[in-house]
Amino acid sequence: MSRQPILTVGNLEKRYGARIGCTEVSFDLWPGEVLAIVGESGSGKTTLLNCISGRLARSAGSVRYRMRDGVIRELADLGEAELRFLMRTDWGFVHQNPADGLRMRVSAGGNVGERLMAVGERHYGCIRRTASDWLGRVEIAGDRIDDQPIAFSGGMRQRLQIARNLVTRPRLLFMDEPTGGLDVSVQARVLDLLRGLVSDLGLAVVIVTHDLAVARLLSQRLLVMKEGRVVESGLTDRVLDDPHHPYSQLLVASIPEA
Amino acid sequence: MTKASPLPDYNFAYLDEGTKRMIRRAVLKAIAIPGYQVPFASREMPMPYGWGTGGVQVTASIIGPTDVLKVIDQGADDTINAVSIRSFFQKTAAVQTTTHTNEASIIQTRHRIPETPLRADQILVYQVPIPEPLRFLEPRETETRTMHALEEYGLMHVKLYEDIARHDHIATTYAYPVKVAGRYVMDPSPIPKFDNPKMDRSPALQLFGAGREKRIYALPPFIEVKSLDFEDHPFSIQRFDKPCALCGAEGVYLDEVITDDRGGRMFVCSDTDHCQSRLTQGQGPTGPLASSGEEAGR
Amino acid sequence: MYVAVKGGEVAIRNAHRLLDDRRRGDRTVPALTLEQITGQLALSVDRVMAEGSLYDPELAAMAIRQARGDLIEAIFLLRAYRTTLPRLGPSRPLDTGRMRIERRISATYKDLPGGQLLGPTFDYTHRLIDPAMAGAEPIEAPERRPCHPDSNWPRVTDLLGDEDLIEPDGEGAEEPGDLTRDPVSFPTDRAVRLQALARGDEGFLLALGYSTQRGYGRTHPFVGEIRIGFVVVEVDIPELGFSICIGEIRVTECQMVSQFTGNGSESPRFTRGYGLVFGQSERKAMAMSLVERALRAEEFDEERLAPAQDEEFVLEHCDNVAATGFVEHLKLPHYVDFQAELELLRRLRREQEERSRAPQAAGADETREVAE
């Protein structure tokens, strides 16, 4: 594994007129590492995620990504075609609401197969086998392959969204509150699944969450955001067990004891 | 109240020369980028949008006094709209018209390609209702434009995948999308998929006019045109299990005609010129006729 | 023996003759004259001119007569004629401030310079069918009084503008694009939108305008002013170095005033929705102004959620000539494609029957039969 980070963010800022979305954000992300960005709603964490993943234009700062061939590219220098291709192959984006990341009227198989077809896979049997395989890995019964997500439960839809993103073996995964809309009982299953897949595939992940328990379970490192700024960062276990910044202490203190 | 000005003298083929130039420029651009939809400022024509105004504008822009024009609809010269368009050009351009594919230099068509293979000195003008192959998957023009520009056609294949998953077959039987010269995905107009292979590497120039949607596109002669499919579900055309009941032709597209209300039906050539020519040459329903040339119809 | 049907040309000829006969109707009844149509069905003439995009009341009357009263058919006739006319150039912007007013009302002020002038409006009539309409009773001549030459009818929007309470009119492009000459691509600009709406179908825009009032993209509108009357059309003649008046046309102008909260860098102001239509076409002008404002959503940081705010949807479907062409084209023969669908359907049914008759047949494996 290379000693270079897969993603480097430098002094990222997003402003809306006079209002700050996020500012002075810098971090490195290594292959296979999971970084959690935590904070309350309005802290700017989703804005940050959208800026890093190219969904929102940043106001200032740099985002550099190491491509599959090892070359480091500044994302703003990529053409639209290159960026869209990257988003379809090397990257994944898991939305909080699975309906935002799925085609609700396309079958589960079609949803998972779409990325393959988008990069030129033209063998129906292969596409179906691969889709079937992935449905298995996210614990969706194989006989649901031709059903539409409109008929799935929330947890199933989310697992389908994960499969759809992982089928092209991305190297970097962005997740925005992936278990946010799910029942507590269902969350555990999805989180467990994520933990296994991330580890098996050696994915680098940036996950945004307000839930510290999710951060604890999935991430090695953590950024705490408040009002658009990073107030504390470090190893997840350290920050959660021994928070330095008063705001971090407040957040940690409000976790109900398990 | 002003007196109505005298109604104008119409230019050759109705359109003014400036408009024809504009359309020819669009046609040239379309030929230079095979399969790409070129926007053009479609004019209001004396027939309704949706009734062939795109094809008529393209024909009107390329036709000259020495051209010979054939107009067909559903493969037939005598369907009402084909008659109407043919008489429009007779009135406004006084060009010679014909029903024989062999004799025509320009053929304007709706929904069929003639059975007789075309030559390099012929132009086929198609009438197109909806030029955008992605339209029913993505209604927004702004999105589809980007998809074409970035060659993002995954969604197209998702549709084909869904068909096979649901029906075991690709459920598109006409307006079957094609890839042109390995780059643009194009809608060939609502011709039955039976006709798709005729577009591939045709010696003739093929022009597509969509008046209401204001787009022109083209297939230059000998360009490669491949129907979309999967490796393990290759594209294939419809087959009829009987020959034409009039002239015996096989391997041609047939129309189903209901002959009585007890389920009686017969299948006859959709391409009336093709059928007629065969009958004139002495072909019949079960092979050459004993006596030559038994005419049908009239 | 089956005989291929021929005779399309004869059928068309006969259909046209029958149409001519029906159009004329009972020969003992006097034929309609153009004067009757322009004089007594003026609002039909106005609608045809507006959506036909051509100001010529007599031609519009001819079209209405030829179309047997079908206004969209008449609009089509006018448009087809318009296509053949040479383009001379744009006029100077119409100065509706100098309009020769026939009707002028405002809902935002109780009274204002020039006053509320009702004009020939249906607004306060009771909708009771009048038996007089079945007869030919004489109508009294109207009373006349001299119009004061210095009558002042300042535009309501100018009054608001003086206090800087409404967004300014804007400079406008030197020469706006012509949507009948240049292909439209989305997103468009305001000039193209206004052109499309001005010739757009009254019913469609009415429904969309109505929807904005019912919550589908509300913009809190008030009728700032409606004015109907005659404006002078002036054209610049480069060879002469000055502009000349080529005539007068009747137009209806509606300025809808809507609210906008300033976005931090700009102070709050009223915003505009604009409608301008040939003739006395108040309903259309009002609907147009509601939709026009809704389509300006981006300028005011409004989220586009409602159909009336969807630029592509509104502009692609407001042209009734294009709409009727495509809807009615379904009458054209489609039997070749229908044949293709029949063939597939029959095959699918056959296969379904075979499957249900042989449930022990080879278990479903992933390689399916080749299509066809």
pLDDT tens track for C16-35: 999 999 999 999 999 999 99
Residue with tokens 């860098």: C265
d(CA B283, CA B290): 9
Judged by CB atoms closer than 8 Å, whether chains meet at C368 and A129 is answered as no
Q: Taking all residues of chain A, what is their mean pLDDT, rounded to a whole number? A: 91
Give residue B7's pLDDT: 57
Residue A182 has pLDDT above 70, yes or no: yes
Judged by CB atoms closer than 8 Å, whether chains meet at B111 and C336 is answered as yes
Q: How many residues does chain A have?
A: 258
Interface size between A and B, measured as CB pairs under 8 A: 55
Give residue B297's pLDDT: 35
Judged by CB atoms closer than 8 Å, whether chains meet at A125 and C265 is answered as no
**Chain A, nearest residue to B162 by Cα:** A110
User: Out of C264, C367, C368, whose CB is closest to A17?
Assistant: C264
Q: Which residues contact A250 (CB under 8 A, 6 or more apart)?
A: none
Is B293 a catalytic site residue?
Answer: no
Q: Do B195 and B170 touch, CB atoms closer than 8 A?
A: no
Chain B residues in contact with A115 (beta carbon < 8 A) = 154
> Which residue, C271, C273, C294, is CA-closest to C217?
C294
C-alpha angle A231/A235/A236, rounded to 5°? 85
Is B247 a catalytic site residue?
Answer: yes
User: Out of A80, A114, A123, whose CB is closest to B154?
Assistant: A114
Give residue C100's pLDDT: 92
Q: What's the pTM?
A: 0.81
- CA distances from residue C253 to B65, C155, C175, C277, C281 in whole angstroms, order as listed: 49, 11, 21, 7, 9
Residue C206 exposed, middle or buried by CB count within 10 Å (0-12, 13-18, 19+): middle
Q: Do B174 and B190 touch, CB atoms closer than 8 A?
A: yes
Q: Do A110 and B165 touch, CB atoms closer than 8 A?
A: yes
Chain C residues in contact with A143 (beta carbon < 8 A) = none
Judged by CB atoms closer than 8 Å, whether chains meet at A125 and C367 is answered as yes
Q: Do A107 and A128 touch, CB atoms closer than 8 A?
A: no
Judged by CB atoms closer than 8 Å, whether chains meet at C335 and B255 is answered as yes
Residue B71 has pLDDT above 70, yes or no: yes
Chains with 3 or more CB pairs closer than 8 angstroms to A?
B, C
Judged by CB atoms closer than 8 Å, whether chains meet at B266 and C371 is answered as no
Q: Do B180 and B206 touch, CB atoms closer than 8 A?
A: no
Handedness of CA B27, B28, B29, B34 (dihedral sign): positive
**Chain A, nearest residue to C367 by Cα:** A125
Q: Which residues contact C222 (CB under 8 A, 6 or more apart)?
A: C107, C108, C256, C257, C258
User: Out of B146, B151, B161, whose CB is closest to A113?
Assistant: B161
Give residue A41's pLDDT: 82
Using one digit for the tens of pLDDT, what is the confidence trace for B128-178? 999 999 987 888 888 899 999 988 898 899 989 999 998 888 888 999 999
Is B35 a catalytic site residue?
Answer: yes
Using one digit for the tens of pLDDT, what is the confidence trace for B224-244? 999 999 999 999 998 888 899
User: Out of B41, B49, B75, whose CB is closest to C325?
Assistant: B49
Q: What six digits make up the tokens of C53?
A: 């995009």
Strand partners, A174: A93, A206
Residue A163 has pLDDT above 80, yes or no: yes
Chains with 3 or more CB pairs closer than 8 angstroms to B?
A, C
Cβ of A17 under 8 Å from any chain C Cβ? yes
Q: Do A101 and A174 touch, CB atoms closer than 8 A?
A: no
Can you give the C-alpha Rg of chain A in angstroms?
18
Chain C residues in contact with B53 (beta carbon < 8 A) = 325
C45: amino acid identity, one letter: V
Q: Which residues contact A232 (CB under 8 A, 6 or more apart)?
A: A223, A224, A239, A243, A244, A245, A247, A248
Judged by CB atoms closer than 8 Å, whether chains meet at B1 and C326 is answered as no
Mean pLDDT of B273-287: 88
Catalytic residue among B209, B244, B248, B284: B244
Chain A residues in contact with C264 (beta carbon < 8 A) = 17-19
Q: Taking all residues of chain C, what is their mean pLDDT, rounded to a whole number? A: 88
Residue B292 has pLDDT above 60, yes or no: no
Give residue A256's pLDDT: 61
Residue B290 exposed, middle or buried by CB count within 10 Å (0-12, 13-18, 19+): exposed
Q: Do A139 and A193 touch, CB atoms closer than 8 A?
A: yes
Residue C370 has pLDDT above 60, yes or no: no
Q: How many residues does chain C have?
A: 372
Residue A118 has pLDDT above 60, yes or no: yes
- CA distances from residue A42 to A39, A46, A47, A253 in whole angstroms, order as listed: 8, 8, 9, 19
User: Out of A110, A122, A145, whose CB is closest to B231?
Assistant: A122
Chain C residues in contact with B82 (beta carbon < 8 A) = 8
d(CA C198, CA C52): 10
**Chain A, nearest residue to B147 by Cα:** A81
Using one digit for the tens of pLDDT, what is the confidence trace for C65-76? 999 999 999 999
User: Out of A103, A106, A125, whose CB is closest to B232?
Assistant: A125
Q: Which of A86, A106, A132 to mutate to test the interface with B (most CBs of B within 10 A)?
A: A106
Using one digit for the tens of pLDDT, what is the confidence trace for A198-254? 889 889 999 999 889 999 999 999 999 999 999 999 999 999 999 999 999 998 888
> Which residue, A197, A196, A179, is CA-closest to A188?
A179
Using one digit for the tens of pLDDT, what is the confidence trace for C102-140? 999 999 988 888 889 999 999 988 898 999 999 988 999
Q: Which of B142, B147, B158, B226 to mutate to test the interface with A (most CBs of A within 10 A)?
A: B158
Q: Do B211 and B49 touch, CB atoms closer than 8 A?
A: yes
User: Out of B50, B111, B259, whose CB is closest to C2?
Assistant: B259
Judged by CB atoms closer than 8 Å, whether chains meet at B44 and C56 is answered as no
Residue A14 exposed, middle or buried by CB count within 10 Å (0-12, 13-18, 19+): buried
Judged by CB atoms closer than 8 Å, whether chains meet at B230 and A124 is answered as yes
Residue B16 has pLDDT above 70, yes or no: yes
**Chain C, nearest residue to A128 by Cα:** C366
Chain B residues in contact with C80 (beta carbon < 8 A) = 44-46
* Closest Cα in chain B, distance from residue C219 (Å): 25
Respond yes or no on whether the N-terminal peptide bond of residue C187 is cis (omega within 30° of 0): yes
Q: Taking all residues of chain B, what is their mean pLDDT, rounded to a whole number? A: 90
Characterize A164-195 residue by residue with b for buried, 16 or more Cβ atoms within 10 angstroms of its Cβ, and e for exposed: bbbbbebbbbbbbbbbbbbeeebbeebbebbe
DSSP per position, C220-288: --EEEEEEEEEEEEEEEETTTTEEEEEEEEEEEEEEEEE-----SSS---BEEEEEEEESS-HHHHHHH
Q: What are phi and psi of A23, to 5 degrees?
A: -155, 150
User: Out of C264, C366, C367, whose CB is closest to A18?
Assistant: C264
Can you give the C-alpha Rg of chain B in angstroms?
21
Residues of B with CB under 8 A from a CB of A: 146, 149-155, 157-158, 161-162, 164-166, 229-233
Judged by CB atoms closer than 8 Å, whether chains meet at A17 and C265 is answered as yes
* Closest Cα in chain C, distance from residue B270 (Å): 8
Q: Which residue has the higher pLDDT, C332 or B294?
A: C332
Q: Which residue has the higher pLDDT, B193 or C169?
A: B193
Q: Do B251 and B197 touch, CB atoms closer than 8 A?
A: no
* Closest Cα in chain B, distance from residue C115 (Å): 30
- What is the arrangement of strands in the sheet containing A7-16, beginning at the earlier edge strand? A19-29, A7-16, A60-66, A72-74
Percentage of residues of chain A with pLDDT beyond 90 = 70
Q: What six digits make up the tokens of B122?
A: 């012929």
d(CA B159, CA B181): 22
Please give the torsion angle defined by the CA atoms of residues A25, A27, A32 and A35, in that order, rounded to the nearest 10 degrees.
Answer: -40
Maximum alpha-carbon separation in chain B:
73
Chain A residues in contact with B231 (beta carbon < 8 A) = 122-124
d(CA C265, CA C268): 10
Chain C residues in contact with B87 (beta carbon < 8 A) = 9
Strands (E), chain C: 100-105, 222-237, 242-258, 271-278
Q: Do B131 and B37 touch, CB atoms closer than 8 A?
A: yes
Residue C368 DSSP symbol: P
d(CA C191, CA C206): 20
* Closest Cα in chain B, distance from residue C224 (Å): 32
* Closest Cα in chain C, distance from residue B287 (Å): 17
Percentage of residues of chain C with pLDDT beyond 90 = 56
Chain A residues in contact with B161 (beta carbon < 8 A) = 109-110, 113, 117, 124, 127
Q: Do C50 and C279 touch, CB atoms closer than 8 A?
A: yes
